[in-house]
Amino acid sequence: MSQKKNRQQRKPKSEVKLAEERFQNCIEKRNSLNEESRTIRDERNSLHDQRNKVMKEVLKYRKKMEVNKKTKAKHIKSRDSAMSKVKQLNELKQKKRKGRNKLRSCSHRRETEKKKEEEERYHVVQIGLKFEVVQKKNFGSVKKGAPKKYKAQVSEYQKGRAEAKKNGEKFKGLKPPSTVFKVLTKKGFKGQKEAKSYADNLQKKVDSKRKK
Whether residue 11 is predicted with pLDDT greater than 70 in this model: the reply is no
C-beta of residue 205 within 8 angstroms of C-beta of residue 139? no
Residue type, 62: R
DSSP 189: B
Q: How far apart are CA 164 and CA 167, in angstroms?
A: 5
CA 17 to chain centre: 108
Supply the pTM of this predicted model: 0.48
Lowest-confidence region among 56-60, 66-70, 79-83, 112-116: 112-116
Q: For the segment 88-115, what is each residue's pLDDT rounded down to a tens digit?
A: 999 998 888 887 777 777 777 888 888 8
Q: For the segment 118-139, what is each residue's pLDDT rounded down to a tens digit?
A: 888 999 999 988 999 999 889 8
